[in-house]
């Protein structure tokens, strides 16, 4: 029984992927998507390439984007539980939003 509970509460792994857009564009698009999903953007630092948001159901989501003007390496990490799947939706939106 306790083994099943430990699966529910273990921390997730960060999502890492590349996007064909500048880091500042990635962070701005992330802020828009997160707000539409009910998250509160707590910190957005374009120079450092980071964003921090509080999820509606209690977790803290962090986005880091590094790279040049043509391509960014993006990492999305969540402290706490991401009950609404916000990190998954954000990763999908970032990947799809830059294709075309």
Instruction: For the chain, give the percent of residues with pLDDT over 70.
Output: 85
**Tens digits of per-residue pLDDT, 58-67?**
899 999 999 9
Do 17 and 74 touch, CB atoms closer than 8 A?
yes
Rounded CA gap, 86 and 99, in Å? 20
Q: Strand order in 60-67's β-sheet?
A: 15-19, 72-79, 60-67, 50-54, 40-45
How many C-beta atoms surround the C-beta of residue 14 within 10 A?
A: 13
**Tens digits of per-residue pLDDT, 15-54?**
999 999 999 999 999 999 999 999 999 999 999 999 999 9
pTM of the predicted protein model = 0.83
- Domains of the chain in start order, with CATH, are 2-97 (3.30.310.80)
Residue 7 is predicted with a pLDDT of: 46
């Amino acid at each position: 029984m306790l083994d099943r509970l430990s699966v529910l509460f273990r921390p997730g792994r960060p999502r890492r992927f590349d996007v064909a857009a500048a880091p500042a564009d990635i962070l701005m698009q992330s802020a828009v998507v997160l707000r539409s999903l009910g998250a509160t953007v707590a910190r957005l630092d374009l120079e450092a390439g980071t964003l921090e948001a509080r999820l509606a159901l209690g977790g803290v989501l962090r986005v880091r984007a590094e790279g040049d003007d043509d391509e960014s390496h993006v990492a999305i990490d969540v402290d706490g539980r991401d009950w609404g799947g916000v990190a998954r939706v954000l990763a999908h939106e970032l990947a799809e939003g830059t294709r075309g």
